[in-house]
Structure 1
């Protein structure tokens, strides 16, 4: 086991672009670019890689947050060897948001390392990409690594969004992202790996990161990290053995991302117009509903008034009938009384 670890460490340490069959192809440095959602363990994974590589005391090199909110706000670099550097890109909060343009600008290495990530979009992002041209090295070889926490799980809607993200990242970098799954014992590792395989991922690595609280060195965990780093170097050498032109690729990445940002901005405007249309429609529907409800209330009020008026007239008619009936009864009583008096007088007269 120790010999295997030493062999892996030697392969990584001795990695150079000149080991390619056709030389370096103009590349001289590999950037392992970590990207993904906030709080999925990118900074902790960098700490784990550095801890394994340095093989000394554990340090919080990447200042990983203790909670899941994520704290990386800047594209930070962590040299591993003279030819390999880990890059901790700023995590994003939501899949499919306007932040995706910034994500691909980072992955395409179109923004300077060590600079804060502003999450600007549209013209603001384009302007920053143009301003950064003189500070970017086209000789940097990009290896995209998507970091995802097993404890979060992957639902079907997220899988669709993640797949789209990974495919676009592959178009930007020329490599389908390697997948690093963190917190591998905090959920269904089997299901999560299957979900990423269904998305088209071929290289999937699962880790339990070292932390300040859990930094007892484990041979198996060390070997897993070194295998990952060794796989990165093999991927790089495989890629440069084919026709590659770093300057041309940089121009193509820049054009792709600029087009992506432009299309995304246009789509965002269309989406905003559609949202405004729906808001206007909903407002009109609300006004119409309010108007209809007012009409219904008025109708109910009129109906109540008509019913009340009808009831009053009926009551008045009833009282009039009662009064007439009482008057008729009184008249009848009076006639009977007169008749009786007349009959009485007639009888008295006959006698």
Structure 2
């Protein structure tokens, strides 16, 4: 399909047109998630710009420099049946932040400002939001990553875990969107995500305020991405029985278990940390005691050495005094003998 055919297909898409009907869903909710500053908001601007084919605007308030600023969950309606959600970016992939991300992906929290609560604070928020949960959204996860940022082996393992958990949560393999594709090692980044088991990877150079001249290549890339999402949703609805109410309750149970496991792990880590700190304290105390004993022993040794040195010096002084006295006595005796000899010599003469 050409650009106009793709745009028309996306704009006219309706879940009602699926072979088995909408099965209780009335829109696709494309949930964008990933690290802060990797271009999620700019990607939303790009999608709207391409689909509307009008003037460029900063609809998602994307920062043109790196860093990221989204602190809220904000929906952006692409068509009557497709909505993009700009979720708050991850600062780090610890249990608390990924728990929040899973709650957002599962559509278990209301839109608006996002905090990173610890432990069961998130459980309380999910419980309070239960009555306002929307069950008619087909959740589609999309992980956004900037090619500018290389992935270490440790980060790759953590990202893989989050992606697979996202799949288990939503029942959909996440699509990976790579941004800033001309500003880094694109092939290496694509291979890293393939090593994580991700099959569908799209790379983009987002339109921006400074660079929004329309090009066929960028338009086609965005439209093919959205078309791929539609095809995947249609396939899943047509080949797997759907129960939106049951699915959201399963997502809730999944996230609750994850939070409980993270809290339990954090508690165990805290216990291990305290144990390690106690061992370190005891070792430090033992080392300090040994150092104190060593210092005391050293002082005693120095005192003994000083005393011995003093005694040796005292003996040496006594010996020198005795030698001087003996020498004086010897000299005196020699002088006496000399005088006596001289006297005898005069008598003889």
TM-score (normalised: structure 1): 0.95
Q: 1:331 Cα deviation (Å)?
A: 1.7
Within the candidate set 16, 19, 34, 2:17 is matched to: 19
Is 1:149 equivalent to 2:140 in the alignment? Answer: no
Q: 1:60 Cα deviation (Å)?
A: 0.6
Aligned positions of 1:88-99 closer than 5 A: 88-99=86-97
Aligned positions of 1:18-37 closer than 5 A: 18-37=16-35
Q: 1:97 Cα deviation (Å)?
A: 4.4
Within the candidate set 125, 136, 139, 1:139 is matched to: 136
CA distance in structure 1 between the partners assigned to 2:50 and 2:195 by the alignment: 31
Q: 1:341 Cα deviation (Å)?
A: 4.1
Q: SS of the residue aligned with 1:238?
A: helix
Is 1:324 equivalent to 2:299 in the alignment? Answer: no
Query: 2:247: which partner in 1?
Result: 249
Q: SS of the residue aligned with 2:294?
A: helix
Q: 1:304 Cα deviation (Å)?
A: 2.7
Within the candidate set 215, 232, 236, 1:235 is matched to: 232
Structure 2, unaligned runs of 5 or more:
none
Q: 1:121 Cα deviation (Å)?
A: 2.5
Within the candidate set 194, 218, 221, 2:215 is matched to: 218
Contact 2:64 2:208 in 1 (8 A): no
Q: SS of the residue aligned with 1:72?
A: coil
Contact 1:149 1:184 in 2 (8 A): yes
Within the candidate set 105, 108, 131, 1:107 is matched to: 105
Q: 1:230 Cα deviation (Å)?
A: 0.5
Is 1:183 equivalent to 2:180 in the alignment? Answer: yes
CA distance in structure 2 between the partners assigned to 1:270 and 1:68 by the alignment: 36
Contact 1:101 1:121 in 2 (8 A): no
Query: 2:171: which partner in 1?
Result: 174
Contact 2:95 2:262 in 1 (8 A): no
Is 1:196 equivalent to 2:172 in the alignment? Answer: no
Structure 1, unaligned runs of 5 or more:
none
Q: SS of the residue aligned with 1:70?
A: coil
Q: SS of the residue aligned with 2:36?
A: coil
Contact 1:96 1:161 in 2 (8 A): no
Aligned pairs, how many? 348
- Tell which deviates more after alignment, 44-53 or 266-275: 266-275
Q: 1:349 Cα deviation (Å)?
A: 6.1
Contact 2:110 2:133 in 1 (8 A): yes
Query: 1:264: which partner in 2?
Result: 262
CA distance in structure 1 between the partners assigned to 2:95 and 2:256 by the alignment: 17
CA distance in structure 2 between the partners assigned to 1:108 and 1:296 by the alignment: 62
Q: 1:205 Cα deviation (Å)?
A: 0.3
TM-score (normalised: structure 2): 0.95
Q: SS of the residue aligned with 1:141?
A: strand
User: What is the root-mean-square deviation in Å for CA atoms of aligned residues?
Assistant: 1.7
